């Protein structure tokens, strides 16, 4: 089976990460995988795509599609096209017209922003053969459209690049803030930095690593970290920026603050996770995992109040060596690993292909 993922710009974001993880699972199961999308002159996952054996078709382009992509898509001869419903969808419909390959449209976000030509509801229905998602609310939205398009729950695989491992010693307590540095995702990070003295008083040897890119906010955090490190007399806040492979940062972390897939990856890796985005969800535990999944680990909603954040960090530090604490990390990891696995992703995909073929 030849699978062609359409991407808008191959930049490092949620869509590019989904393509990397899902594409790698399908490639390792014996399928041929290609990624087609314009290069926006920014760093992306091209190197990692090629390392996984993907065919990468890209070039600088003002428009989302062009004649070069048309020719290369014909030569690739996809049996199926996979696309998100937003920026890359017009490219997928263009390639569908050329190759007649069916389109699987995967929804990584709720059904919204459908007012633009080429990716409106009518176009999504006209050119998609299957809708997939893994969030319960998004699946409900897709079913609620009342179309004849099959809606399938298809998880993304967490175990394709990540694996559970025991937490490291809490010496030099490493707090990893992981995710894109957007306005939507940074309120909690700024709250931590604004309350650094409270952390310092309780955890004298703490380190904060802030991982992710985000334009001027990256520079703002760089400047802020410099001032904080100078005032505390040591290098304790590190602004790392975008990384092609975040695994080593998660493995060395004692605590991860993140949302969405970043939080899922850290929790599956058996790290304590505080889920936060523009709102605050709190520590992810086995007892609230359903709520964490439904909120996509605070990506969708959370309390607009970060007053519990610093107390939660200190509580996790204090209970770090408790047996119940460690056991709960294992329970969360096991649950996520069972539902969001490479095996399950491949099984669902192959079921979709059987359904398309009729």
Give, for 286, the enclosing helix (H) or strand (E).
none
Q: What is the pLDDT of residue 233?
A: 94
Residue pLDDT, tens place only, 49-93 = 999 999 999 998 888 889 999 999 999 999 999 999 998 999 999
- Taking the CA atoms of 348, 352, 353 and 358 in sequence, report the sign of the dihedral they define: positive
Place of tokens 């229905």: 125
| Residue 214 confidence (pLDDT) | 78
* Model pLDDT, residue 180: 86
The predicted model scores a pTM of 0.93
What are residue 274's DSSP bridge partners? 257, 283
Segments of the chain with pLDDT less than 70: 43
What sections of the chain are H helices per DSSP?
14-28, 46-51, 67-76, 89-99, 121-127, 136-144, 187-194, 196-202, 216-232, 247-251, 260-268, 289-294, 309-318, 323-339, 342-357
What SS3 state is found at 105?
Answer: strand
- If one counts every other C-beta atom within 10 angstroms of the C-beta of residue 188, the result is 24
Q: Which of 266, 11, 50 lies closest to 158 in space, CA to CA?
A: 266
93-134 confidence digits (pLDDT tens): 999 999 999 999 999 999 987 778 888 999 999 999 999 999
């Amino acid at each position: 089976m030849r699978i062609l993922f359409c991407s808008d710009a191959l930049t490092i974001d949620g869509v590019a990460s989904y393509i990397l993880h899902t594409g790698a699972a399908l490639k390792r199961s014996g399928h041929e995988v290609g990624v087609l999308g314009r290069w926006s002159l920014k760093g992306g996952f091209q190197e990692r795509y090629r390392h996984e054996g993907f065919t990468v078709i890209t070039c600088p382009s003002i428009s989302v599609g062009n004649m070069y992509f048309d020719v290369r898509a014909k030569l690739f001869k996809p049996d199926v096209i996979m696309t998100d419903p937003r920026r890359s969808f017009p490219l997928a419909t263009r390639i569908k017209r050329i190759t007649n390959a069916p389109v699987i449209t995967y929804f990584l976000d709720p059904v919204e922003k459908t007012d633009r030509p080429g990716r409106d509801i009518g176009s999504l229905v006209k050119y998609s053969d299957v809708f997939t998602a893994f969030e319960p609310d998004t699946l409900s939205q897709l079913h609620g459209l009342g179309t004849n398009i099959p809606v399938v729950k298809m998880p993304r695989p967490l175990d394709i690049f990540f694996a559970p491992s025991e937490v490291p010693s809490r010496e030099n307590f490493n707090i990893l803030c992981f995710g894109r540095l957007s306005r939507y995702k940074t309120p909690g990070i700024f709250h931590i930095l604004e309350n650094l003295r409270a952390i310092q008083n309780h955890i004298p040897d703490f380190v904060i690593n802030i991982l992710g890119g985000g334009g001027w906010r990256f520079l703002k955090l760089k400047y802020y970290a410099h001032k904080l490190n100078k005032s505390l007399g040591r290098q304790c806040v590190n602004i790392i920026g975008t990384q092609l492979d975040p695994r080593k940062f998660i493995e060395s972390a004692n605590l991860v603050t993140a949302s969405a897939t970043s939080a899922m990856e850290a929790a599956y890796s058996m790290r304590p996770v505080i889920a936060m985005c523009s709102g605050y969800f709190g520590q992810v535990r086995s007892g609230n995992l359903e709520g964490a999944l439904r909120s996509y680990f605070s990506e969708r909603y959370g309390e607009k109040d970060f007053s519990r954040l610093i107390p939660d960090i200190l509580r996790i530090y204090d209970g770090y060596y408790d047996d119940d604490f460690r056991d709960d990390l294992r329970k969360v990891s096991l649950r996520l690993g069972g539902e969001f696995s490479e095996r399950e992703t491949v099984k669902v995909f192959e079921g979709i292909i059987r359904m398309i073929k009729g």
